Amino acid sequence: GAVVSQHPSWVICKSGTSVKIECRSLDFQATTMFWYRQFPKQSLMLMATSNEGSKATYEQGVEKDKFLINHASLTLSTLTVTSAHPEDSSFYICSASGNRGKANYGYTFGSGTRLTVV
Amino acid sequence: AQSVAQPEDQVNVAEGNPLTVKCTYSVSGNPYLFWYVQYPNRGLQFLLKYITGDNLVKGSYGFEAEFNKSQTSFHLKKPSALVSDSALYFCAVREGTGRRALTFGSGTRLQVQP
């Protein structure tokens, strides 16, 4: 089956620094990547949608200059939290949709990244 | 706009008893419905989905869900709960075709007591 590898699993950073989260599709081409944010005991909130080779589409209220998304290849998408602050602490999850040959793969989730900003 | 409601924050059930986790949805077109399970500090694991066809969908780990168009519901069920089923369950919906994001419900924590 389809696998999405997300790294790091957890990261602690100082306020004001930037953190990069990677999601790689291991055995299929991820043409679309969805980035979600999950607060404790809450649901997943869509942050942005990115299609390979195009600029990401951000949801209302999500700062595109703060949450930089790159999807330059069919197997890698990155989310960079710039100038992180404690309120950015959260669980970030990616979800990839794509294909391998004629087979369609929808909504394969990464294992998530726990970001703590101190 | 599409939306999903999971009315119960938590469901408690004894091991061996049947379980139901409720989900209702709202879309303007044909719904694509999903159930996922999440263990602590982990991503989401796919359980099952309804696209079209039979209203009763069977999925992983003995779970099933019934699509009810008139009640706009997609409740998750399992005939006999296991302690290891204790986790957070999310219902999600997508309207129509194409590579669109899923909209998730608020999640229901299932606690199965030995």
Mean pLDDT, chain A, rounded, equals 92
Contact A43 B46 (CB under 8 A): no
Q: Do A109 and B41 touch (CB under 8 A)?
A: no
SS3 of residue B56 by DSSP: strand
Q: Under a CB-based contact definition with an 8 Å cutoff, are residues A113 and A61 in contact?
A: no
Q: Cβ contacts (< 8 Å) between A9 and chain B: which residues? A: 41
Instruction: Classify each residue of A31-54 as buried b or exposed e, where b means 16 or more C-beta atoms within 10 Å of its C-beta.
Output: bbbbbbbbeeeebbbbbbbbbbee
| Count of beta carbons in the 10 Å neighbourhood of residue A18 | 12
* pLDDT of B40 strictly over 90: no
The conformation of residue B52, written as its DSSP 8-state character, comes to S
A107 contacts in B (CB within 8 Å)? 34, 46, 102
Query: By CA distance, what is A3's nearest residue in B?
Result: B45
pLDDT band at B41 (very low <50, low <70, confident <90, very high): confident
Nearest-by-Cβ selection for B105 from A32, A43, A93: A43
Q: Round to whole Å and give the CA distance between A98 and A31.
A: 5
What is the total residue count of chain A? Answer: 118
Residue B99 has pLDDT above 80, yes or no: no
Q: Could you give the CA distance from residue B105 to residue B74 in angstroms, rounded to a whole number?
A: 12
Question: pLDDT for A76-87, tens place per residue?
Answer: 999 999 999 999
Query: How close does chain A come to B44, measured CA to CA in Å?
Result: 6
| Cα A32–Cα A33–Cα A37 angle in degrees, nearest 5 | 155
Is the bond into A8 cis (omega within 30 degrees of 0)?
Answer: yes
Percent of chain B topping pLDDT 70: 98
Nearest one of A114, A116, A118, A95 to A105, comparing CA atoms? A95
Contact B99/A97, CB-based, under 8 Å? yes
3-state secondary structure of A82: coil
Residue-wise pLDDT for A9-47, tens only, equals 999 999 999 999 999 999 888 899 999 999 887 889 999
3-class SS at A40?
A: coil
Q: Indicate if the pLDDT at residue A98 is higher than 90.
A: no
Percentages helix, strand, coil for chain B (3-state, rounded to 5) are 5, 55, 40
Higher pLDDT, B83 or A72: B83
